[in-house]
């Protein structure tokens, strides 16, 4: 999976991409990340990318020109990739949508907005999908893009050390969309709190039964 990230804050991604599973997945070329600085596409001599809103109101709006030029340039590299605009007004991201994104596409173009949002003409002409990561307002789309990258990358074969691990997770069909069962690790007793005996029994049938009974 190749993620193209369109942002005015590419530095925000550095720490996130250089740790843990995403670092390893990039190292083994299971996923690739291309950061595109939208500001580089601004025709303004000061590289300005925002302006006041028509009709008045608070805040600024992301201007269309740098977004059009940046998206067009990235589309040339990835013609089949959908342009996904991260916005609180978008469709709420669910695990089912994450699975679809992973199955359907080899590349994703993630557009991070800022200010009061982006000029509507960009959405009308160039955006294929609007996604929200939840009913709250972030300052920019970067954190939302990171959520999409993390959730999708986990499903790319070879990204997780153990390919089985995501199959048993909270939203899997096997678990009927219920939440997780409790997890325990060593030691068997910690500050007087004991790990349930059945989980230490090695009896897989009994363990499975216990886990199903304790989904929460
Ligand atoms: C301050 S927000 C704009 C908020 C917008 N004026 C509103 O009230 O819905 C700036 C940018 O952050 C991103 N953003 C904010 N909240 C988000 C969310 N819940 N999911 C995805 N992106 C979000 C979008 O890219 C948006 O363009």
What CATH code is assigned to 181-213?
Answer: 1.10.1270.20
Structural domain boundaries in the chain: 2-153, 181-213
Decide whether any atom of ligand 1 lies within 6 Å of the 154 Cβ: no
Q: Is 138 in the pocket of ligand 1 (CB under 6 A)?
A: yes
Residue 58, token pair as written in the block: 């608070």
Q: Output the pLDDT for position 163.
A: 55
Domain spanning 2-153: which superfamily?
SPOUT methyltransferase, trefoil knot domain (3.40.1280.10)
Asked if residue 145 has its Cβ within 6 Å of ligand 1, the reply is: no
Mean pLDDT by groups of 10 residues along the chain of 216 residues: 98 96 96 98 98 96 98 98 98 97 98 98 98 98 98 94 59 57 96 98 98 94
What pLDDT does residue 169 have? 61
Best mutation site among 62, 88, 116 for ligand 1 pocket (most ligand atoms within 8 Å of CB): 88
pLDDT at 161: 73
């Amino acid at each position: 999976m190749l993620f193209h990230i369109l942002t005015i804050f590419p530095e925000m991604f550095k720490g996130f991409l250089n740790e843990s599973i995403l670092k390893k997945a990039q190292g083994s070329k299971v996923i690739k990340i291309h950061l595109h600085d939208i500001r580089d596409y601004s025709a303004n001599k000061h590289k300005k990318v925002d302006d006041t809103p028509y009709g008045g109101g608070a805040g600024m709006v992301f201007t269309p020109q740098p977004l059009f030029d940046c998206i067009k340039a990235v589309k040339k590299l990835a013609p089949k990739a959908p342009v996904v605009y991260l916005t609180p007004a978008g469709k709420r991201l669910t695990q089912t949508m994450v699975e679809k994104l992973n199955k359907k596409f080899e590349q994703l173009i993630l557009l991070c907005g800022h200010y009061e949002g982006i000029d509507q003409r960009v959405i009308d002409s160039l955006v294929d999908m609007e996604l929200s990561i939840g009913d709250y307002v972030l300052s920019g789309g970067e954190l939302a893009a990171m959520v999409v990258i993390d959730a999708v990358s986990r499903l790319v074969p070879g990204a997780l050390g153990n390919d089985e691990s995501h199959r048993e997770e909270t939203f899997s069909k096997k678990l009927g969309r219920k939440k997780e069962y409790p997890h325990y690790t060593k030691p068997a007793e910690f500050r007087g709190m004991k790990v349930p005996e059945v989980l230490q029994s090695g009896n897989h049938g009994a363990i499975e039964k216990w886990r199903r009974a304790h989904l929460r």
